[in-house]
Amino acid sequence: MTGPHTRYRRAFAIPLGMTMATAMAFLPGATASAADLPGTVAGVTGAVNDVLASATADGTALSYVVNVRAGHAPSAQVKKAIGKAGGTIVTSYDRIGVIVVHSSNPDFAKTIRKVRGVESAGNTRNAPLPAQSTTDEGTPKALSSAQMAAVRAVADAGQDPLESLQWDLPAIKADKAHEKSLGSRKVTVAVIDTGVDDTHPDLAPNFDRAASVNCVTGKPDTADGAWRPSAAESPHGTHVAGEIAAAKNGVGMTGVAPGVKVAGIKVSTTAGYFYTEAVVCGFMWAATHDVDVTNNSYYTDPWYFNCTDDPDQKALVEAVTRASRYAEKKGVVNVAAAGNENYDLAADEITDPVSPNDGTPSDRVIDPSECFDIPTQLPGVVTVASTGAKGIKSSFSNYGLGTIDVAAPGGDSTVYQTPAPPATSGLILGTLPGGKWGYMAGTSMASPHAAAVAALIKSTHPHASPALVKALLYAEADATPCTDPYDINGDGKVDAVCEGSKNRNGFYGWGTVDALDAVTK
DSSP state of 298: B
Mean pLDDT of the chain: 87
140 exposure class (CB count in 10 Å sphere: 0-12, 13-18, 19+): buried
Looking only at the bridges linking them, the beta strands covering 213-214 and 306-307 are unpaired
Q: How far apart are CA 273 and CA 215, in angstroms?
A: 12
pTM of whole model > 0.75? yes
Q: How far apart are CA 124 and CA 302, in angstroms?
A: 8
pLDDT higher than threshold 70 for residue 347: yes
The Cβ-side half-sphere exposure at 330, using a 13 Å CA radius, reads 20
Stretch among 104-108, 157-161, 491-495, 516-520 having the lowest mean pLDDT:
157-161
User: For residue 152, what pLDDT band results from cuts at 50, 70 and 90?
Assistant: low
Question: What's the confidence (pLDDT) of residue 60?
Answer: 78
pLDDT average, residue stretch 415-434: 96
User: For residue 14, what pLDDT band results from cuts at 50, 70 and 90?
Assistant: very low
- Could you tell me if 448 and 480 are in contact, meaning their C-beta atoms sit under 8 angstroms apart? no
Q: Which tens digit of pLDDT belongs to each residue from 29-63?
A: 332 222 222 232 222 222 223 333 333 334 578 99
Q: Which tens digit of pLDDT belongs to each residue from 174-230?
A: 999 999 999 999 999 999 999 999 999 999 999 999 999 999 999 999 999 999 999
Structure-model confidence comparison of residues 396 and 45, the more confident one: 396
- Could you tell me if 479 and 271 are in contact, meaning their C-beta atoms sit under 8 angstroms apart? no
Residues 127, 132, 138, 144, Cα dihedral to 10°: 160
Residues of the chain with pLDDT > 70, as a percent, come to 83
User: For residue 103, what pLDDT band results from cuts at 50, 70 and 90?
Assistant: very high
Q: Which tens digit of pLDDT belongs to each residue from 360-376?
A: 999 999 999 999 999 99
Q: Which tens digit of pLDDT belongs to each residue from 231-283?
A: 999 999 999 999 999 999 999 999 999 999 999 999 999 989 999 999 999 99
